[in-house]
Amino acid sequence: MSVPYLGLDVGGTKILAVVVDAHGRIERRAKVSSRREEGAEAVFARIVELARAMIDRSPEIAAIGAGFAGLVDPTTGTVRSSIMLSGWDGFPLAARLAEAAGRPTFVHNDAKAAGWGEYRALGSPHGLHMVVLAVGTGIGGAFILDGRLYLGAAGLAGEVGNTTIEREGPVCWCGNRGCLNMLASGSALAEHASRAAALDSQSTLHGAGAALTVEAIAAAARRGDILAARVIEDGAAALGAGIANVVNMLNPHRVALTGGVVELGETFFDRVRAEVRARAFAEIVEGLVIAPSTLGYETGAYGAACLAADAWKANHGRGDRRRAPHALGRQTDAAS
């Protein structure tokens, strides 16, 4: 990167921004609430305000990359649909943001941006096969296969959170039953804990209502709350089952986890690893690393900046296309 790039991570709860400098280091960061209940235009206005504030302080920013929590057409940067933020179906995010912020803009699914961010943060290991799961409000996924971000036929690959774990399980936001989302996401853990705590006067979470967070559940488990520990245990087991499915399919070197579940700590990771070992082929689990992502909650915004840098360089004839095979984002300039 010879010039800085702006990376944005647009989620159901927060919008994160990072400016990534010429050496791939994060030189500035900022965060605002999404307030998704106010609708797409209001959230978009906050994205624009945040992007402009970052560009005001770093006017040399060459391009913007954004990861968005939904299905995104990476060639046009238009949101196809989102189960996390309502009212965004068909929203031309890349075109609108390029126009409003005056920089070429590239938009991807948020988890795929995180996948690429983790790959770059690891030093872009040659030939790496990696699954990255962003376990936050929902569960997003990305596949890095042979050092490339796998997009699929329409750019929509990686929906690990919407794979079936319980055939007759609860109905997911996507309409399917028993998705991993409903069993292991941060919102699923919060809902399970709230429901169980309402019936258990022994729990320190009793009376907490629906306002529980993953952090609050983790804190309760640390102080010995049995109910909280059981909710985390169940979530870890479900996540481990989901990961076992994916590793049996793809035989990756590494599974990296990012998002709120990372807060649950090493006990949680050990439980996830045990479940994967119990369900997947021993030969496939042998040598498999399951670890938190290198950059934590900034992985997605960092990856979005890296994707923008790759696409911008490819469009300007200065990119190494072997290193940026996925850089198919059509440049969306304010002028075009």
**Shortest separation between residue 95's beta carbon and Zn ion, angstroms:** 28
Q: Taking Cα atoms as reference points, which of 166, 121, 128, 171 lies closest to residue 147?
A: 128
* Helices 226-250 & 214-222 angle (0-180, nearest 10): 120
**Shortest separation between residue 183's beta carbon and Zn ion, angstroms:** 10
**Shortest separation between residue 269's beta carbon and Zn ion, angstroms:** 24
* CB 84 within 8 Å of CB 69: yes
Q: Is 137 in the site for Zn ion (CB under 5 A)?
A: no
CA distance readout (Å), 304 to 7, 181, 198, 242, 278:
5, 23, 40, 25, 35
Taking CB atoms, the residue at the shortest distance from Zn ion is: 172
Whole-angstrom distance, CA of residue 161 vs CA of residue 173: 11
Q: Point out which span in 3-11, 150-158, 160-168, 264-272 binds Zn ion (CB under 5 A).
A: 160-168
Measured between its terminal Cα atoms, the distance across the chain in Å is: 24
Q: Is 164 in the site for Zn ion (CB under 5 A)?
A: no
**Shortest separation between residue 83's beta carbon and Zn ion, angstroms:** 7
For Zn ion, the closer CB: 173 or 267: 173
For Zn ion, the closer CB: 155 or 242: 242
Q: Point out which span in 32-40, 171-179, 207-215, 226-234 binds Zn ion (CB under 5 A).
A: 171-179
In the chain, the amino acid numbered 316 is H
Please name the residues in contact with 201: beta carbons below 8 A apart, sequence gap of 6 or more: none
For Zn ion, the closer CB: 58 or 176: 176
Question: Binding-site residue total for Zn ion (CB under 5 A)?
Answer: 6
Q: Is 243 in the site for Zn ion (CB under 5 A)?
A: no
**Shortest separation between residue 171's beta carbon and Zn ion, angstroms:** 8
Among 164, 176, 248, 294, binds Zn ion (CB under 5 A): 176
**Shortest separation between residue 155's beta carbon and Zn ion, angstroms:** 19
Positions 177 through 196 that interact with Zn ion (CB under 5 A): 179, 181
Q: Point out which span in 164-172, 204-212, 234-242, 262-270 binds Zn ion (CB under 5 A).
A: 164-172
**Shortest separation between residue 89's beta carbon and Zn ion, angstroms:** 17
For Zn ion, the closer CB: 12 or 303: 12
Q: Taking Cα atoms as reference points, which of 212, 226, 204 lies closest to residue 260?
A: 212
Among 32, 174, 196, 284, binds Zn ion (CB under 5 A): 174
Whole-angstrom distance, CA of residue 139 vs CA of residue 233: 17
**Shortest separation between residue 173's beta carbon and Zn ion, angstroms:** 6
Give CA 91 to chain center in angstroms: 20
Among 98, 172, 190, 276, binds Zn ion (CB under 5 A): 172
For Zn ion, the closer CB: 64 or 172: 172
Q: Is 295 in the site for Zn ion (CB under 5 A)?
A: no
Cβ burial, residue 329 (10 Å; 0-12/13-18/19+): buried
Q: Following DSSP, what letter does each residue of 182-216 receive, concatenated?
A: HHHSHHHHHHHHHHHHHT-TTSTTTT-TT---HHH
**Tokens for 83?**
């189960």
Please name the residues in contact with 316: beta carbons below 8 A apart, sequence gap of 6 or more: none
> Within 10 Å of residue 320's Cβ, how many Cβ atoms?
11
Helical (H) or strand (E) element with 108 = strand 105-109
In the chain, the amino acid numbered 255 is V
Q: Is 162 in the site for Zn ion (CB under 5 A)?
A: yes
Q: Is 30 in the site for Zn ion (CB under 5 A)?
A: no
For Zn ion, the closer CB: 24 or 169: 169
Residues that bind Zn ion (CB under 5 A): 162, 172, 174, 176, 179, 181
